[in-house]
Amino acid sequence: MSPMITTDLVRLDADLGTDRHEVIRALAAVVGAAGRATDADQLAADALAREATGATGQPGGIAIPHCRTTGVQEPTLAFARVSPAVDFGAKAGPADLVFLIAAPAGGDADHLTILAQLARALVRSEFTDGLRAAATPEEVVDLVSGVLPRADAPAATPTAVGAGPASTAGAPTSPTTARRLVAVTACPTGIAHTYMAAESLEAAAERAGVDISVETQGSAGSTPLSHETIRDADAVIFAVDVGVRDRGRFAGKPVVSSGVKRPISEADAMIAEALRYAGDPNAPRVEGTATDASESSGAGESWGGRVRRVLMTGVSYMIPFVAAGGLLIALGFLLGGYQIAIGSTFDGAEVNTAHHILTNSTIFNLPDPSAYAMDGTGLGRGALLTYLGALMFALGAAAFGFLVPALAGYIAYAIADRPGIAPGFVMGAVAGILQAGFLGGIVGGVLAGLVAHWIASWKVPVWARGLMPVLVIPLLATLIAGFVMIVVLGRPLTALMTSLNDGLNGMSGQYAILLGVVLGLMMAFDMGGPLNKVAYGFATTGLGAAATATGAAPELKIMAAVMLAGMVPPLALALATVVRPSLFTVPERENGKAAWFMGASFITEGAIPFAAADPLRVIPSIMLGSAVTGGLAQALDVTLRAPHGGIFVLFAVGNIIGFLIALLAGVLVAAAAVITLKNLGRVDTDVATV
């Protein structure tokens, strides 16, 4: 690799123009004249585009315009000591020392580490004083080369600094007086400000006698702070112009937030502010709790912990679709009646009722409910309520359509970061085509994430690196994972689902109560997963055909058993958090408040956070409660003509008393079971966290 700076790239006491745009263009021309630019105009354009996003002037008369560009193939530094000084947007005044830092588009970590080292040196007064005193270009080159690491130097890791020898590794510290801080710095390009901010914070912490560890989330790569380092920190500083990666690691910590440029000029003030917040119970804090932080940290985690984190990432992003979709569907039934979800006849043709209403009517041209033939009559609601019910149901159904794609997409994201999202979502959609349900979504998401991660690790030419995340990885990961899903796994997954449905059909009739028990177990086992969806699909399959039935038709009894059993898990866990709150963490208690409404609305997924945190105690308990409810619903001849809605569709229930008895019995059994199991060999969380 060629030296990053040579005498041909240095200009001393030069008049390069009256504003920063002229200076940047002049320095780009210097790079071109030195034979270091493949396209000097492109270099200038990219540097000016970066300048437009934020001024690069710094305190002390320094300016560092920089960019990633296709205009160079090797990292290059051009330096000018300009006269007169030029305004680069710094509050402290114009700059007389100007570095143009050009990194190749898609440059590897070694190149960018060198640029990061230079950025750190720029905030040291002895370095800038030397640049101002240099008499020849050779002196400048020597000064700059002296602060740059070798090309094969490893990437920088998070740095801990302190007050002299007393803060070195192994030295004793006072647990009552020693303060520890952590920080994250990041700028949009991740080339200069990221590392200058880190250097400034470290220097300020050393002056204050404080230990600090800084994670630089820059283009040179980032070594995440360890879980232990974050746990022991008294406060965190976020000096970023972009989002903090894996922000949940810092949940609950007092936080000082700013743009990435503030530490360069006000590092001492930020350190003092962080120390003040560390002792203030009312200080701003990173959203979330300590429990969230421990779950978010990927540092040093076991394979089991990593698998759980990956799966829970997918689930956490899926839950908003569940909540929004389920409640919208329930509101649709409440306003438009349960018939809004079932096909009907319009002008002699079979139509999807809700979709037909929305595509053929408007709020100003309301539908005629009597025109939709069902049960020998119309829809049974007024025109406005029918239209609004159809609207709510269609929106909820659309949200539910994203459940498996969102699960798969964000599982892939947890494995491969952003390049995994597109192939993950596609695999979720493929799981729907294969009728593989949530099991297919999990398999597809993991497969897409692993393939995307593998492709991202390929060594490719510099010119191709910019294409990898936006074209190559999504294309190849989707193709490879899709081929495996459809060609290899398609038939086995379909056969598995078909076998489960056939087995359930064989249990109806004289084994109705046993069928209710089995359906209850399936509904609670994976709370919205493949078995849950098999049971729900089995119940809804015959609902349309039974719409005109009278009495306790088997299909209507199955639908009642399934929905009641699905309501039990979130309701039982919500009740348990009220009866014995000390057995649950603070986040679980908060989830318990939401679980009341989710359970009442037949959103079984409301129990997922509890099961994920303590599966061996929670899952058997809710399975027992749901089995009791499913069997009782069948024994009491409870029927249901609505496919969803919970208590919002009581108007569609046959034998409401039996409905309530079955539901209450299962909730009480499950709540008692989970409280009993949590009491075995486990201390109260309130005591454990003191």
Is 187 considered catalytic here? yes
Which position has the token pair 């230990």? 211
Phi-psi category of residue 251: left, alpha or beta, with phi > 0 → left and psi -120 to 50 → alpha? beta
- Taking the C-alpha atoms of residue 607 and residue 571, their distance in angstroms, rounded to an integer, is 8
Is there a catalytic annotation at residue 66? yes
Q: What are the helix (H) ranges across 244-400?
A: 262-278, 290-296, 303-336, 353-360, 383-400
**DSSP for residue 583:** G
| Rounded distance between C-alpha atoms, residue 626 and residue 526, angstroms | 12
Q: Which listed residue (66, 193, 356, 644) is catalytic?
A: 66
Nearest to 218 by CA among 242, 247, 202: 242
The rounded distance, in Å, linking the Cα atoms of 677 and 668 is 14
355 CB-near residues (< 8 Å, 6+ apart): 390, 394
Catalytic member of 67, 111, 187, 644: 187
Q: Which residues contact 571 (CB under 8 A, 6 or more apart)?
A: 595, 596, 599, 600, 663, 667
DSSP 417: S
What is the Cα–Cα distance from 193 to 414, expressed in whole angstroms? Answer: 28
Expressed in percent and rounded to 5, the helix, strand and coil fractions of the chain are 60, 10, 30
The sign of the dihedral angle between the CA atoms of 23, 24, 25, 27 is: positive
For residue 457, give the amino acid letter. Answer: S
What b/e readout covers 633-660, taking b as 16+ CB neighbours within 10 angstroms?
A: bbebebbbbbbbbbbbbeebbbbeebbe
Residues 278 and 183: their CA atoms lie apart, in Å, by 13
91 three-class SS: coil
Positions annotated as catalytic residues are 66, 187
